[in-house]
Chains A and B, each alone.
Chain A
Amino acid sequence: MFGLCFALPCITASLLLGGCQQQQSPYFGTIEPRHGPEELWINNSSEPEWLDPGRCSDSTGGEIIWNTFEGLVQAHPATLQPLPAIATHWDISDDGRTYTFHLRPSFWSDGHALTADDFVFALRRLVDPQTGSKYASNGFIFQEGLAISRGDAAVETLGVRAIDTHTLEITLVDPLPYFLNFLSFYSFMPLPEHLFQDLQNRGIDPDLWTRPEYVVCNGAFRMTDWRFRQHMTFEKNEYYWDAVSVKLDRIRVAMVESATTAMNMYVAGEFDWPGGSTSLPAEFMDHLEKYQDFHSHPYLGVYFYWINTEKPPLDNPLVRRALSLAIDRDSLVQHVTRGGQRGSADLVPDGLAGYEGLHIPVYNPVKARQLLAKAGYATGQELPLVTLSFNTSEGHKQVAEAIQAMWQQELGITVELANQEWKVFLANAEQTNFQICRMGWIGDYADPYTFLELLTSDCGNNHSNWSSTTYDTLLEQANQQHDAEERLRMLREAEAFALHEQPLIPLYVYTRTQLIKPYVRGIWGNHQDRHPWKYMWIDESFDPHDLMVGAGKNVDEDEQVPQ
């Protein structure tokens, strides 16, 4: 079965590419829309676990929530900076911990008025242990959020309260400078409390409230049909406060898991956009880059290797640094991953507003050998066998094999590879039952802290067994800091400190690759891969018969960015 699963995309890829090489079109597949200008056909890669903002923890569910709900602020489609949404404006207290949001009059899709109480209900429900939200930790930024989640405080004590129908006050644990940016995350959407009560009164399980027959939302689109593991249909929500800006009437969202199948459907015109969550296979990249409807942009994610800092010989930071310096990351991204990724030894990727990356030297085998010798290993052969674990995936395997070869070649170290099934791999990672294991981290918000938090002592996602009070204190002090520039300097200092200890080895920064039909407009590349449907539209002036190179408009560059 595994063999088949791996062979399948390869065979399809070779057939498909072989078939397309004879074509002269500068676009990959048909460029004639198979529907009217009021409609868009996209893919969302898989059936979402939850469409409930308070419970959702996967990107496919997040994609739907972002387009059917609207929070206090929304992320700008190009820059991701917070824009007014349900809140028209806000006041911030002097200590930076209390935000007062002024809400615009707006409505739910059933015509009910949306009030500040709907936000209070949603945020209390997020941290309430009875909800069982996997992303409850997002609510720990609110005062008493953590205590409520642990059952040590009543939900009514949460630092979120409605001052009146259209005024909401939020009190934070710390004066988090990234709060407004984070606030556009899907966990913080309002919920229609009246619907929950109505369902309960009718004897219907309120957990089913996101089904199309019941769902009530306040975003640009509302779901009208949901065929399990096939597709969903969304129609423009006429009650949306900014409905006048929404250009499309209908969006059909399919759930095609196989990237190869999604590409076939794109070629045949069954998709206008295979969606942000469809990762184009690496073996296609060299070919696809030639087409005008291929786009790529940096993505707020880092691929790295955790090191268990308690297991010899990796308990020695010199050995860990030697391992990092012996990796030729440029070669890795050019010859192995091939998706336009950028090799980087930094934990925090560039692109976060105001944060200057460390740009640590990525490849220095001479210094790596010196460090290894300083650690007491004159040659790599003296180093005990090191095991590198990864979860079953052709991509992870190829990266691991490349690193194994680099360490062998540059340092003479023998590395054993351990290919583990996903849940076994996760169980081992949770228990730090490994020497080195692969991991990736996607930032939830555009601030360095989303990455730096990973290495704090009490972070449950820190699988390195490394902890440092110096590091924790630096981050704590940074988050208390009101001066934004000083805060970023302190965060940078913390990152430099941690990477000198090297409890993890960053390898590269992700990119997102997209195929977008040339007649689709209103999609911008941004580093969180968020693409609000409300800005998308079909360009009827696009001439599919004009196949001259350059005739198609680059959706990323030409589109006027909304203000």
Chain B
Amino acid sequence: MIRILLQRLLELIPTALVIVAASFALVRLAPGSPFSSEKEIPPEVRQKLEAKYGFDKPLPEQFIRYLGNLLRGDLGLSTKYPQRTVNEIIANGFPVTLSLAAIALLWSLLVGITAGIIGAIRQNTVWDHVAMTAALVGISVPSFVLGPLLVLTVSLRLHLLPPAGWGDWQHVVLPGLTLGTIYAASIARLTRGGMLEVVRSDFIRTARAKGLSESLIVWRHMLRGGLLPVVSYLGPAVASMLTGSVVVEKIFNVPGIGPYFVDAAFNRDYFLVMGIVLLYAFFLLLMNLIVDVVYGFLDPRVDVS
């Protein structure tokens, strides 16, 4: 297993190189400069700033220098926040985004799997219809509608939680719910679908014939098989929670790295854009790898190697 994992990790290197080269080329080909502003900057000052960041060197030289720094773990200096390194900005923001995604993931799994199980074991009853209608609504309502709705009701009307900010547990609840709901809805439908697929399988019939209790059948046999589609979905979903939290972080003023994904590109903050792209790419690749491994554990028919 370890050999296979190492092999898969090594395979990530050429992919990462392609991502670095492509994103470097794209961000540098975009018109405009990090130092352009409405008010003219004296040309001597501009030269000085370009020299400070190495932008005065030919592009190939800049790329090689960037790769060299990258190997040493140095992601460069931000041009928008000149007193901060990209490493520092990511180290500040990523744990925030990560904790937001963790809350969203917990919420989505808890609600999604519960609703999915109810839908499957009470198929075609009122319970099933209610759970699946709620899931349909959850999938259809985007976060930029759900977020303000939660702020209006929970914060401004009921005064239960703060409308925005970050610092203690109260600040995590609304953004976590907003981010996680759409995934909870998808997980509910996938769980229900997965369980209904295995409910008529031979091994379930065998389990019933052995006289196992219904709850044991549901928890030990049906759920394990029924969760396979959810596991496949979770890899991209977690990556998507990390990368797709831009809107939620804006609504709730969460100091994560989501907004940089857009703002750094607008600001031509070259090193910050590269840093965020690389981080997201790394997580996407890692999540896919984890899903492949977990799949092997859940379904004995899948050979990870």
Contact = CB atoms under 8 A, between A and B. Distances in A.
Closest 10 CB pairs of A and B: A423-B32, A460-B40, A264-B163, A12-B148, A426-B36, A132-B48, A229-B255, A427-B32, A8-B144, A256-B253
Contacts of B44: 129, 136, 149-151
A84 B266 CA distance: 42
Contact of A49 (B81, B151, B246): B81
A535 to B, nearest CB: 27
B279 to A, nearest CB: 17
Contact of B163 (A149, A208, A261): A261
Interface string B173-212: 0000000000000000000000000000000000000000
Contacts of A423: 30-33, 36, 266-268
B300 interface: no
A92 interface: no
11 contacts: A49-B81, A134-B39, A150-B44, A229-B92, A230-B167, A257-B253, A258-B251, A261-B252, A268-B155, A268-B156, A422-B32
Contact of A230 (B142, B166, B262): B166
A163 to B, nearest CB: 29
Contacts of B37: 57, 134, 426
Interface in A411-438: 421-424, 426-427, 430
Interface stretch (B4-12, B82-90, B110-118): B82-90
Given A4-B144, A130-B48, A258-B251, A270 B164 contact: yes
Contacts of A150: 42, 44
Contact of A11 (B39, B89, B148, B262): B148
Contacts of B144: 4, 7-8, 11
Is the contact region of chain B dominated by helix, strand, or loop, or is it mixed?
Answer: loop
B67 interface: no
B77 to A, nearest CB: 10
A267 interface: yes
A285 B30 CA distance: 37
Nearest to A13: B148
Contact of A149 (B42, B49, B151): B42
Contacts of B39: 57, 134-135, 461
Nearest to B167: A230
B159 A421 contact: no
A424 B31 contact: yes
B52 interface: yes
A267 B148 CA distance: 14
Given A8-B251, A261-B163, A426-B38, 8 more contacts: A11-B144, A15-B152, A49-B80, A134-B35, A228-B84, A270-B163, A421-B32, A439-B38
Nearest to B256: A229
B229 interface: no
B16 interface: no
A347 to B, nearest CB: 16
B45 A49 contact: no
B301 to A, nearest CB: 40
A374 interface: no
B247 interface: yes
A254 interface: yes
B166 A16 contact: no
A473 B49 CA distance: 34
B221 interface: no
Contacts of B236: none
Interface residues of A, number: 57
Contacts of B93: 228-229
Given A132-B45, A423-B268, A261 B250 contact: yes
Interface string B233-272: 0000000000000110011110100010010001110000
B130 interface: no
B176 to A, nearest CB: 17
Contacts of B156: 16, 19, 29, 264, 267-268
Given A8-B247, A8-B251, A264-B164, A136 B36 contact: no
B164 A256 contact: yes
Contacts of A184: none
B31 A427 contact: yes
Given A11-B144, A16-B152, A264-B163, A132 B31 contact: no
A316 interface: no
B3 interface: no
Interface of B: 30-33, 35-42, 44-45, 48-49, 52, 80-84, 89, 92-93, 142, 144-145, 148-149, 151-152, 155-157, 159, 162-167, 246-247, 250-253, 255, 259, 262, 266-268
A133 interface: yes
B109 to A, nearest CB: 26
Contacts of A426: 32, 36-38
Nearest to B266: A422
A244 interface: no
Given A19-B157, A149-B45, A268-B159, A47 B38 contact: no
Contacts of B250: 5, 8, 257-258, 261
Contacts of B38: 426, 439-440, 461
Nearest to B88: A228
Nearest to B50: A132
Given A258-B251, A264-B156, A270-B164, A11 B32 contact: no
Nearest to B36: A426
Contact of B255 (A16, A135, A230): A230
B259 to A, nearest CB: 8
A208 B84 CA distance: 9
A268 B163 contact: yes
Contacts of B52: 132
Contacts of A151: 44
A424 B30 CA distance: 8
Nearest to B155: A268
A210 interface: yes
A8 B143 CA distance: 10
A426 B35 CA distance: 10
A19 B150 CA distance: 12
Contact of B81 (A12, A47, A424): A47
Contacts of A427: 31-33, 36
Nearest to A20: B156
Contacts of B253: 254, 256-258, 261, 265
Contact of A136 (B32, B45, B151, B262): B45
Nearest to A422: B266
Given A11-B145, A426-B32, A129 B155 contact: no
A265 B165 contact: yes
A47 B255 CA distance: 11
Contacts of A422: 32, 266
B268 A137 contact: no
Nearest to A148: B44
A421 B45 contact: no
Given A129-B45, A134-B37, A427-B36, A254 B165 contact: yes
A377 B155 CA distance: 60
B42 A136 contact: yes
A211 interface: yes
Given A132-B52, A422-B266, A15 B148 contact: yes
Given A8-B247, A134-B41, A430 B36 contact: yes
Contacts of A133: 45
Contact of B83 (A136, A208, A254, A268): A208
Interface in A489-548: none
Interface string A266-284: 0110100000000000000
Contacts of A459: 40
Nearest to A133: B45
Contacts of B267: 423
A50 interface: yes
